[in-house]
Amino acid sequence: MEQTSVSSPINPQVRIGHVHLKVADLDRALKFYCGVLGFELQQRFGAQAAFISAGGYHHHLGLNTWESRGGLPPASGTTGLYHVAILYPNRAELADALRRLFAAGIELDGAADHGVSEALYLRDPDGNGVELYRDRPEAEWPRTPSGELAMFTRPLDFGELLKS
Verify that 61 and 88 share a domain, yes or no: no
Contacts of residue 95, Cβ cutoff 8 Å, sequence gap at least 6: 161, 162, 163, 164
Question: CB of 147 within 8 A of CB of 108?
Answer: no
Would you state the pLDDT for residue 113? 98
Q: Is 11 inside a domain boundary?
A: no
Q: How open is the CA angle 95-38-18, to the nearest 5 degrees?
A: 100
What is the span of the domain harbouring residue 46? 17-69
Maximum distance among all Cα pairs of the chain, rounded to whole angstroms: 56
CA distances from 18 to 3, 14, 85, 160 (A): 25, 12, 11, 31
Verify that 153 and 100 share a domain, yes or no: yes
Q: What is the pLDDT along the chain (164 residues), one digit of tens a residue?
A: 666 666 899 899 988 889 999 999 999 999 999 999 999 999 999 999 999 999 999 999 999 999 999 999 988 899 888 899 999 999 999 999 999 999 999 999 999 999 999 999 999 999 999 999 999 999 999 999 999 999 999 999 999 999 99
Would you state the pLDDT for residue 3? 66
Distance CA 86, CA 64 (A): 18
Distance CA 146, CA 162 (A): 34
Phi, psi of 92 (to 5 degrees): -60, -40
Q: Is 119 inside a domain boundary?
A: yes
Verify that 46 and 93 share a domain, yes or no: no
Verify that 28 and 89 share a domain, yes or no: no
Would you state the pLDDT for residue 2? 67
- DSSP label at residue 138: G
Verify that 39 and 64 share a domain, yes or no: yes
Q: Is 1 inside a domain boundary?
A: no
Q: Is 27 inside a domain boundary?
A: yes
Extract the runs of DSSP E, i.e. beta strands, from the chain: 19-22, 40-45, 49-53, 61-64, 84-88, 108-113, 117-123, 129-135, 154-155
